[in-house]
C-alpha cells in the first residue's frame, strides 16, 4: 500500500502539483521540510540581531526608518515561516525551544558581527542578495504553504537588497574614509556570504532527496555560482574589489571563477564556534525572558474571554 502511495505522491510532484497540509506525504518529506523551514524561520529571527545593532545609530532619519522597516519585515518572515512549519504538525513552541536551547541550526551568516554602518549596506546587498538567489526557486517548491510564503518574502527581500546596494553606492561615492569603510565591509562579508549556500554539492547530504521532491530546484553550487555571477559586476560598478585573488571571468564558460572557500571556518560556525554564536543565542534568550509577561498577559486575556463566552 505504501509503495502505491509513494508512487502517487512522486507522480504529483513530477506533474508540478503542490502538496498541501492535509495530503498524504512520506515521513521523510515531512521531516526535511520541518528541518528546512524551521532553520529558515530561525535565520530570519536571529537575522534581526546584526542589523538591529545599528537601528539606534543609523546616520539619518531616512536610513533609520528604512532599517527599522527591514528588520520588522524579517520578524514577519520568521512568523510566516513558523506558521508554514506548523502546518506540518510541529508546534511553534517546540521550534522556539530548540532555537533557544542551542539545539537548532540557523544560517551561518548571522554569526558575524556588524562593526560599522557599511556592514548594513553589505548585508542588504550581499546577504539579502544571496537570500533572494536561494529563495526565488523556493517560490516553486512542491510544498504549497512554503512556496506561497516565499512569494511575499522575496518581494520584501528585493526591497532589502536595493536599500543595501544604495547604502553601498553612497559610501563608495563618498569620502576616502567612507569608501574604505565600504571596501572593508565587502572584504569581511564576501566569503561568509558564499557559505550561505551550504556545503559543496558533493557533501550536501540532503540535496538528492530534496531535488527529487522539488524542494530544491538548483544545487548549492549552482546557486552560489549564480550569486557570484550577478554580484561581481555590481561590486566592480561601485569601484570596489573582491577579497579573492583567484577571481576572474572565464570566457570559455561565461562565469566568474572564484577561489577556494574555507570550509573549516563554515564547519566551526555550524558547531557554534563562530565570532558571535554565543552572543546571538544569549540575546534571543534574553528577549524571550523579557517577553514572558506578554505571553502571560495574552494567556490570561484568552482565559478571561473563554470564561465570558462560557457564562
Ligand atoms: N548555515 O545537505 P545540505 C535569511 C546545514 S537567508 C547553517 O546542503 P540543505 C534572510 C544544513 O542545514 C538565510 N547551516 O542542506 C535574511 C544541513 O544541516 P542539518 C536562511 C547550513 O537543507 C537576510 C547541513 O548543513 N535561508 O534569513 C548552512 O539541502 C538578511 C548539510 O547541508 C534559508 O534557510 C548555512 N549556511 O541545503 C534575514 C533558505 N548551509 O539540517 C535577515 C532555505 C547548510 O542536516 C537579514 N534553506 N547548512 O543539521 C535552504 O535552501 C537549504 O536548507 C540550504 C541548505 C541551501 C541552506
Q: How far is CA 231 from CA 224, 256, 298, in A?
A: 11, 10, 45
Distance 205 CA to ligand 1 centre (A): 12
Check if 204 has its Cβ closer than 6 Å to any atom of ligand 1. yes
H-state helical runs in 47-143: 48-52, 61-86, 92-100, 118-122, 128-135
Q: How far is CA 65 from CA 68, 160, 178, in A?
A: 5, 13, 21
d(CA 139, CA 152): 9
Give the pLDDT confidence score for residue 311 in this predicted structure.
87
Percent of the chain with pLDDT over 90: 99
pLDDT band per the 50, 70, 90 thresholds, residue 1: low
Check if 210 has its Cβ closer than 6 Å to any atom of ligand 1. yes
DSSP state of 276: S
Q: Is the complex ipTM higher than 0.85?
A: yes
Check if 40 has its Cβ closer than 6 Å to any atom of ligand 1. yes
DSSP state of 143: B
Residue bearing cell 509503495? 3
DSSP state of 133: H
Cα–Cα nearest to 7, from 238, 246, 295, 212: 212
Tell me the three state secondary structure of residue 110: helix
Going by C-beta distance under 8 Å and a sequence separation of 6 or more, which residues neighbour residue 223? 133, 134, 137, 197
Mean pLDDT of the region 131-144: 97
Residue bearing cell 529563495? 135
For 29-77, write each residue's pLDDT tens digit: 999 999 999 999 999 999 999 999 999 999 999 999 999 999 999 999 9
Mean pLDDT of the region 86-96: 97
Q: Look at residue 275 and tell me whether its pLDDT is greater than 90.
A: yes
Check if 92 has its Cβ closer than 6 Å to any atom of ligand 1. no
Ligand 1 pocket test, pick from 206, 220, 267 with the greatest ligand atom count within 8 Å of Cβ, gives 206
Return left, alpha or beta for 214; rule: phi > 0 is left, psi -120 to 50 is alpha, else beta: left
Distance 42 CA to ligand 1 centre (A): 10
Q: How far is CA 200 from CA 67, 96, 192, 215, 261, in A?
A: 33, 29, 14, 18, 10
Residue 33 near residue 88, CB atoms below 8 Å: yes
Query: 265-285: b or e for each residue (b if 16 or more CB lie within 10 Å)?
Result: ebebbeeeebebbeebbebbe
Mean pLDDT of the region 284-293: 97
pLDDT band per the 50, 70, 90 thresholds, residue 2: confident
Going by C-beta distance under 8 Å and a sequence separation of 6 or more, which residues neighbour residue 276? 50, 110, 111, 112, 113
For 150-190, write each residue's pLDDT tens digit: 999 999 999 999 999 999 999 999 999 999 999 999 999 99
CA nearest ligand 1 atom 21, residue: 198
Give the pLDDT confidence score for residue 301 in this predicted structure.
98
Check if 32 has its Cβ closer than 6 Å to any atom of ligand 1. no
* pLDDT mean across residues, the chain: 97
For 224-247, write each residue's pLDDT tens digit: 999 999 999 999 999 999 999 999
DSSP 73-88: HHHHHHHHHHHHHHTT
Cα–Cα nearest to 131, from 111, 100, 155, 98: 155
Check if 192 has its Cβ closer than 6 Å to any atom of ligand 1. no
Check if 163 has its Cβ closer than 6 Å to any atom of ligand 1. no
Give the pLDDT confidence score for residue 153 in this predicted structure.
96
Percent of the chain with pLDDT over 70: 100
Check if 124 has its Cβ closer than 6 Å to any atom of ligand 1. no
Residue bearing cell 573582491? 242
Query: What is the chain's Cα-based Rg?
Result: 21
What is the number of alpha carbons within 13 Å of residue 179 lying toward its C-beta? 9
What is the number of alpha carbons within 13 Å of residue 78 lying toward its C-beta? 20
Amino acid at each position: 500500500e505504501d509503495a502505491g502511495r509513494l508512487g502517487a505522491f512522486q507522480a504529483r510532484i513530477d506533474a508540478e502539483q503542490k502538496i498541501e497540509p492535509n495530503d498524504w506525504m512520506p515521513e521523510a518529506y515531512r521531516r526535511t521540510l520541518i528541518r528546512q523551514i524551521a532553520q529558515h524561520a530561525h535565520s530570519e529571527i536571529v537575522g534581526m540581531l546584526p542589523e538591529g545593532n545599528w537601528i539606534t545609530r543609523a546616520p539619518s532619519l531616512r536610513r533609520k526608518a528604512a532599517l527599522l522597516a527591514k528588520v520588522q519585515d524579517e520578524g514577519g518572515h520568521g512568523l510566516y515561516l513558523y506558521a508554514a512549519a506548523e502546518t506540518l504538525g510541529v508546534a511553534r513552541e517546540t521550534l522556539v525551544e530548540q532555537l533557544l536551547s542551542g539545539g537548532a541550526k540557523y544560517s551561518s551568516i548571522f554569526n558575524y558581527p556588524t562593526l560599522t554602518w557599511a556592514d548594513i549596506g553589505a548585508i542588504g546587498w550581499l546577504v539579502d542578495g544571496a537570500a533572494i538567489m536561494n529563495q526565488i526557486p523556493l517560490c516553486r517548491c512542491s510544498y504549497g504553504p512554503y512556496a506561497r510564503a516565499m512569494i511575499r518574502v522575496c518581494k520584501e527581500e528585493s526591497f532589502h537588497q536595493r536599500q543595501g546596494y544604495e547604502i553601498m553606492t553612497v559610501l563608495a561615492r563618498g569620502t576616502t574614509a567612507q569608501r574604505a569603510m565600504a571596501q572593508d565591509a565587502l572584504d569581511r562579508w564576501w566569503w561568509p556570504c558564499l557559505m550561505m549556500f551550504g556545503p559543496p554539492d558533493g557533501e550536501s547530504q540532503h540535496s538528492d532527496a530534496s531535488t527529487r521532491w522539488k524542494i530544491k530546484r538548483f544545487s548549492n553550487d549552482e546557486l552560489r555560482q549564480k550569486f557570484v555571477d550577478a554580484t561581481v559586476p555590481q561590486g566592480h560598478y561601485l569601484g570596489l574589489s573582491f577579497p579573492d585573488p583567484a577571481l576572474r571571468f572565464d570566457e570559455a564558460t561565461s562565469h566568474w571563477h572564484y577561489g577556494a572557500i574555507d570550509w573549516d571556518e563554515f564547519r566551526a560556525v555550524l558547531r557554534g564556534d563562530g565570532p558571535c554564536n554565543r552572543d546571538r543565542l544569549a540575546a534571543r534568550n534574553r528577549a524571550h525572558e523579557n517577553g514572558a509577561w506578554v505571553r502571560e498577559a495574552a494567556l490570561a486575556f484568552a482565559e478571561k474571554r473563554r470564561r465570558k463566552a462560557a457564562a
